[in-house]
Chains A and B, each alone.
Chain A
Amino acid sequence: METIFIDIAEFLTSWMVGLGLAPLWADLIITILQWAVIVLIITVNTIVLVWMERKVSGFIQERIGPNRLGPFGAFQTIADTLKLLTKEDIVPARADKLIFKTAPMFFIIVSVMLYAVLPLGNNMAVVNLNVGLFYFISLGSLSTICLLMAGWGSNNKWSLVGAMRSVAQMISYEIPLAFSLLGVVMIAGSLNLSDIVTAQNRLWFIILQPVAFIVYFIAATAELNRGPFDMPEAEQELTAGAYTEYTGMRWALFFLAEYTNLVAVSALAATLFFGGGQGPLLPSWLWIIIKTYLIMLVFMWMKWTFPRIRMDHLLSFSWKVLIPVSLANILVTGAGLELFRWMGW
Chain B
Amino acid sequence: MLKTDPYTINIGPQHPSAHGGLRAETIMDGEDVQDVIVHLGYVHRSVEKIAESRTYAQFVPYASRLDYLASHLPTLGYVQAVEKLLGITVPERAEYIRVIVAELSRIASHLIFAGSLAIDLGATTGMIYCYRDRERIMDMFEMSSGQRLIASYMRIGGVSHDFPDSFYPAVKSFLGDLPKMISEYHGLLSGNEILQARCKGVGVLSADDAIAYGITGPNLRASGVAYDIRREDPYGIYDRFEFNVPTGHCGDSWDRYTVRIEEIEQSGRIIEQALRDMPAGDYLGKVPRIIKPPAGREVYHRIESAKGELGYHIVSNGTDKPHRVHVRAPSFVNMMALPLVSRGGKLQDIITNIATLDPVLGESDR
Contact = CB atoms under 8 A, between A and B. Distances in A.
A304 interface: yes
Given A62-B132, A310-B198, A305 B121 contact: no
B119 interface: yes
B194 A308 contact: yes
B214 interface: no
A236 B119 contact: yes
Interface in B16-57: 16-17, 30-31
B58 interface: no
A157 interface: yes
Contacts of B31: 161, 165, 311-312
A306 interface: yes
Contacts of A164: 30
A227 interface: yes
Nearest to B120: A236
Contacts of B129: 61-62
B126 A307 contact: yes
A235 interface: yes
B192 A307 contact: yes
Given A62-B132, A235-B16, A313-B197, A307 B123 contact: yes
Contacts of A309: 194, 197-198
B122 A310 contact: no
Contacts of B188: 305
Contacts of A63: 128
Interface string A50-78: 00000001001111000000000000000
A310 B352 CA distance: 11
Interface stretch (B87-95, B314-322, B343-351): B343-351
Contacts of B125: 57, 60-61, 304-305
A236 B17 contact: yes
A80 to B, nearest CB: 18
Nearest to A308: B122
A239 to B, nearest CB: 6
B122 A307 contact: yes
A307 B118 contact: yes
B281 to A, nearest CB: 41
A118 B195 CA distance: 37
A306 B192 contact: yes
Q: Which of A60, A235, A237, A313 has the most CB of B within 10 A?
A: A237
B128 A61 contact: yes
B168 interface: no
A82 B30 CA distance: 39
A152 interface: no
Interface residues of B, number: 30
Contacts of B348: 234, 237, 308, 310-311
A104 interface: no
A237 B118 CA distance: 13
B2 interface: no
A174 interface: no
Contacts of B132: 62
A295 B31 CA distance: 33
A161 B7 CA distance: 11
A151 interface: no
B16 A236 contact: yes
B129 to A, nearest CB: 8
A236 B351 contact: yes
A158 B120 CA distance: 16
B197 A310 contact: yes
Contact of A228 (B119, B120, B122): B122
B124 interface: yes
Contact of A306 (B7, B119, B123): B123
Interface in A265-321: 304-313
Nearest to A309: B194
Nearest to B8: A157
A307 B9 contact: no
B315 to A, nearest CB: 42
A245 interface: no
B118 A62 contact: no
Interface in B263-288: none
Nearest to B127: A61
A157 B27 CA distance: 12
B240 interface: no
Interface in A214-253: 227-228, 230, 234-237, 239
Contacts of B120: 236
Interface in A75-133: none
Given A158-B9, A236-B16, A304 B124 contact: yes
Q: Which of A304, A306, A312, A313 has the most CB of B within 10 A?
A: A306
B15 interface: yes
A313 B194 CA distance: 9
Contacts of B347: 161, 237, 311
Contact of B124 (A61, A158, A234, A239): A61
A158 B124 CA distance: 21
B346 A307 contact: no
A311 B128 contact: no
Contacts of B349: 310
Nearest to A160: B7
Contact of B194 (A161, A228, A234, A237): A228
A312 B16 contact: no
B9 A239 contact: no
Given A57-B124, A311-B31, 4 more contacts: A234-B122, A236-B351, A306-B123, A309-B194
25 contacts: A57-B125, A61-B125, A62-B132, A63-B128, A157-B7, A158-B9, A161-B9, A164-B30, A165-B31, A227-B122, A228-B122, A234-B348, A235-B16, A235-B122, A236-B16, A237-B17, A237-B347, A239-B15, A306-B192, A307-B121, A307-B198, A309-B194, A310-B348, A310-B349, A311-B347
Interface of A: 57, 60-63, 157-158, 161, 164-165, 227-228, 230, 234-237, 239, 304-313
- Closest CB pairs A-B (n = 6): A308-B122, A307-B121, A307-B123, A61-B128, A307-B122, A236-B17
